[in-house]
Amino acid sequence: MWTGDMSIEQAAQIVERFLDRSSLYPQEWHDFVETPQRNGAVVSLRKSCYQLDPLVNKPGSPDASAVAELRQILTVLRSQT
């Protein structure tokens, strides 16, 4: 069951799995970027992921600068755990 009360660690794990192409199920990334969150730290980073989604979650090669931004988001998430 998907939750709108995700911890920073849970969000970091989802971003990491997306970058590693090892999501738990095909729509995990989509569920993450589309589900509003209550945790303030996760809210802003999820919104950033939402904005990057069309660039990193598309057929063909993802946009390299958008992937770099996503990796930076992961670094920020990891620094808060």
pLDDT at residue 4, rounded to an integer: 86
Q: Confidence band (pLDDT; 50, 70, 90) for 77?
A: confident
Q: Model-level pTM? A: 0.90
pLDDT at residue 56, rounded to an integer: 96
Helix 64-79 vs helix 8-20: crossing angle, to nearest 10: 150
Q: What is the pLDDT of residues 9-55, one digit of tens each?
A: 999 999 999 999 999 999 999 999 999 999 998 999 999 999 999 99
